Structure 1
Amino acid sequence: MNDGTHHAPFFLIGPTAVGKTAVALEFARRLDAEIVSADSMQVYRGMDIGTAKPDAAERATVAHHMIDVVEVTEQFDVARYVALANASIADIQRRGKTPFIVGGTGLYLRALTEGLSKAPDADPTLRAGLEAMGRERVLEELRYVDSEAAERIGPHNFRRLVRALEICRLTGRKSSDLRREWDRSRLPLMHGLERDRADLYARCDARVEAMFRAGLVDEVRSLLPRGLAKNTTARQALGYKEVITHLGGEATLEETIALVRTRTR
């Protein structure tokens, strides 16, 4: 990461629905900054409502980067994110502005600040087999071979559970051990947002309700012919995965909303 002293990147992190967008917009205006998204799903074009992308007015007020980068049919990984984000950061700095990185996805933030880990590339065949095992079996095996990773990831992020177990199978080592080997000497100053848990949960619930009112189901329906369900990464996005299941007739809308609400917390 380019960390020039005159316009060093400014990081803002926090959980879903904590209020990062509003704070980022306000500070970006004050700092003459441009926002670099560190959200792994905002890179996909058309996945707007469920990823809570900034709207057109917000993007007109402050320049945003790493949003709408690829189609939903394209695979996108952390290495590609780091390469493109670093290019955006360097360009912002060359123009005399401050890069304001807002996240988002912990893996992307760590890779951007600490460098890529020694984890192996994805193995499509192995990954497909792990995904076919289902959430419960993957979580059970990961708890056995790398309980630390299982605890850190939690039971709801199936994509990350699969990746952690994939690393264990490919390397014979714990993904949590590889994670600790990353060089943490270059960590920048990060500014985090927090809220009282009850307040945060209420905001999460309100956000989920707002997304469904705004047309999340129709958005997912429109993305299916464009290949959303075939993309092993994009289809796992919170909200989209559950709506795909709903559109397949496996859950009612009420059940889907309740499940997304639970997994958003």
Structure 2
Amino acid sequence: MSCTCHEKDPLVPQVAKLEFVRIDTEDVTTFRIISKEGKRPFDFKPGQCAMISIPMIGEAIFSITSSPTEGDYIECSIKKCGVVTDYLHTLEAGDEIGVRGPYGNSFPVEEFKGKDILFIGGGIGLAPLRSVINYVMDKRDEFGLVDIVYGARTSRDLVHPKDIYEVWPNSKDTNVYLTIDKKEEGWTRNVGFVPTYVKELNFSTDKIVLVCGPPIMIKYVLQGLEEIGFKKEQVYTTLELKMKCGFGKCGRCNIGDKYVCKDGPVFRCDEITELPDEY
């Protein structure tokens, strides 16, 4: 398939290959994707998504986990939860896939410059936030204080362990707060749900907030933020798991008066009147 054909028709995937495959947790794997020429398949901004396809199996849309400031590739951290993702988890470095994109809008990182940022993630919800976090880390002097609150059911479910334990905590003016749902042997950090932990940390309310995770987590995080004085205009979320076709044509991404594929997946929280109960 020629590159010219791909450029003319955004619905036609280009053939790409996996540069490497890294197992993060029992059910989450990170895939580094490059073109057949060994380059980034397409340019993107933090928060945008890629459609990955497997011939005779299907296709699905995923948030891009890497930052555009990183190498000549894209990365996607994918949770095993269906036909396409199950198959992806059987692939190895060197295998070919189809990829197209980017899809959706992005986080308005230019508007965040000079401001303190609070990132709040739950489970695989760290994946789309990681793109923005690493963008900020690579342009560290352009942003203020960074706080990262991240939680999962168990310590084994925390994705991107190198980032959360080594890279981000050792970055300039960056704090990382980790929590798991239930107490377990050897865990010396916080125990409890993310929304409760955020309220306990009692952050100053002069920050920009980016939040992503399970719908129920987002719902209670937003409630907690409002209780401690944050306004909806300060808070951004991404609903990329609600995206389907990427163009807003199938109608399956509808939330209230918004179509996630066309209007999102990134929303400022005063822009949406309701959140999905589940994906």
The structure with the greater share of residues assigned to helix is 1
Q: TM-score, normalised by structure 1?
A: 0.31
Q: TM-score, normalised by structure 2?
A: 0.29
